[in-house]
Amino acid sequence: MFRKMTEANITIEAPAEEKVSSKLPVFYNPVMKINRDISVLLLKAIDNKDMQICDLLAGTGIRSIRFLAELDKKIKSITINDHNEQATELIKKNIEANKEKLDHDAEINITNQEASTLLLQSTGFDYIDIDPFGTPNPFLDAAIRRLARDGILAVTATDTSALAGTFPKVCMRRYWAVPDRGHLKHEVGLRILVRKVQLVAAQYEKALVPIFSYSKEHYLRVFFRCSKGKSAVDEIVKRHGMLNKAGPLWLGRLWDQDIAERMYLLVEKLGYGTDGKFLRTIRDESRIDVVGFHDIHALCKRNKLEVPAFGPVFDAIRAEGYPLSRTHFSDHGVRSRISEDDLIEIVQSVANRH
Ligand SMILES: C[S@@+](CC[C@H](N)C(=O)[O-])C[C@H]1O[C@@H](n2cnc3c(N)ncnc32)[C@H](O)[C@@H]1O
């Protein structure tokens, strides 16, 4: 029923079934390695030390085991929780099997509780990771209440069909906003998720600022840093608004530039396989403070233009004085303040040159 799986130098026991689903006796998805890689990189990239970590929905415990193996003495204590008893038994086994590789100074607590109950009975944490099946909604309130000042909240949402516009009514019910179905659907979904989490936090006078966000495969992920105080919250809420017909959503930055830079440098150094290009693109787009991006394919289709080579288009945008980057949301995207009309002119002039 279980077999050995290796991820980033750690070997654990995980379900033997090939098909990944929430019906597995204990949940493990190898495709989410990059989600765990990015969590490790983010915790390495920030200055927080002596952290009290809560891996709220831990499955096999792989995320926590990697934190304990890779975070070089940054952890004071780690709570590894799952309400599935089989999961907590497996976590104990997986910790034991890897104990030589783990931080010996960190206090490890393996718990078998309902997530919100665990949080509310705790004294709080500096890092809380919410990695659920589907929406993070059921866990937001308790997690935010127990998040320390300067703490980090990590939120995954796998209900992308709601956030990215396939089911607008579900998005309205769960996230209190109208999604987008066009080329911006994933960025809009991420910004809708950000605002929802921020509104839950606002009730407790906590300001949650996104420091790293992305969309990948079937999920959206955001890391927030928490500060306390009425005026910080007021500043957050001021930056909620509409983007065309979508929203309300977060119109502020999705990344802290320095953290995105540090994470990219770290991934290059540590070599986590293919993550380098993904993190480089995010590092680049974190430098362009623009909400949304142009999708050159979509623009050409709408305007019945031939799709040009991107290189000359990017050169021409730069020559007009607009900073730009690619975007991790789309292979055909360009993040830049240039207007659509000016971009159309550039696309046409590049096409005429050939
Ligand atoms: C997507 S999996 C977590 C995967 C894991 N974080 C990883 O990186 O491999 C979600 C987990 O949440 C647990 N879970 C779901 N609802 C819960 C709740 N209310 N309280 C505690 N655990 C819960 C499930 O048993 C499952 O193991």
pLDDT per residue of the chain (354 residues) written in tens, 0 to 9? 889 999 999 999 998 887 888 988 899 999 999 999 999 999 999 999 999 999 999 999 999 999 999 998 999 999 999 999 999 999 999 999 999 999 899 999 999 999 999 999 999 999 999 999 999 999 999 999 999 999 999 999 999 999 999 999 999 999 999 999 999 999 999 999 999 999 999 999 999 999 999 999 999 999 999 999 999 999 999 999 999 999 999 999 999 999 999 999 999 998 877 779 999 999 999 999 999 999 999 999 999 999 999 999 999 999 999 999 999 999 999 999 999 999 999 999 998 876
Residue where a domain terminates, one of 246, 263, 280: 263
Clarify whether residues 276 and 235 are in a common domain: no
Mutate to test the pocket of ligand 1, among 5, 82, 128 (most ligand atoms within 8 A of CB): 82
Clarify whether residues 268 and 233 are in a common domain: no
Helix residue ranges per DSSP H, 239-274: 257-270
Clarify whether residues 294 and 257 are in a common domain: no
Clarify whether residues 227 and 239 are in a common domain: yes
Clarify whether residues 244 and 318 are in a common domain: no
Q: Give the ligand 1 atom nearest the CA of 131.
A: 6
Clarify whether residues 66 and 200 are in a common domain: yes
Quote the domain boundaries for residue 158. 2-263
Name the DSSP class of 99.
G
Instruction: Give the C-alpha separation, 92 to 110, whole Å.
Output: 7
Q: What's 96's domain CATH number? A: 3.40.50.150
Clarify whether residues 129 and 182 are in a common domain: yes
Helix residue ranges per DSSP H, the chain: 33-45, 62-70, 85-98, 115-121, 137-145, 160-163, 168-175, 185-202, 230-238, 257-270, 275-286, 296-302, 310-319, 340-352
Clarify whether residues 150 and 296 are in a common domain: no
Clarify whether residues 220 and 287 are in a common domain: no
Instruction: Give the C-alpha separation, 265 to 285, whole Å.
Output: 15
Residue where a domain terminates, one of 263, 282, 302: 263
Q: Give the ligand 1 atom nearest the CA of 60.
A: 9
Model pLDDT, residue 300: 96
Clarify whether residues 236 and 271 are in a common domain: no
Cα(18) to ligand 1 centroid in Å equals 19
Clarify whether residues 196 and 306 are in a common domain: no
Q: How far is CA 112 from CA 80, 93, 101, 302, 320, in A?
A: 9, 14, 24, 53, 58
Binding site membership of 114 for ligand 1 (Cβ less than 6 Å): yes
Clarify whether residues 278 and 155 are in a common domain: no
**pTM for the whole structure:** 0.97
Q: What's the structural domain count of the chain?
A: 2
Mutate to test the pocket of ligand 1, among 83, 91, 127 (most ligand atoms within 8 A of CB): 83
Instruction: Give the C-alpha separation, 187 to 285, whole Å.
Output: 12
Residue where a domain terminates, one of 223, 246, 263: 263
Cα(82) to ligand 1 centroid in Å equals 6
* Residues 6+ away with beta carbon under 8 Å from 38: 212, 214, 221, 263, 275, 279
Q: What's 304's domain CATH number? A: 3.30.56.70
Secondary structure class of 142 (helix, strand, coil): helix
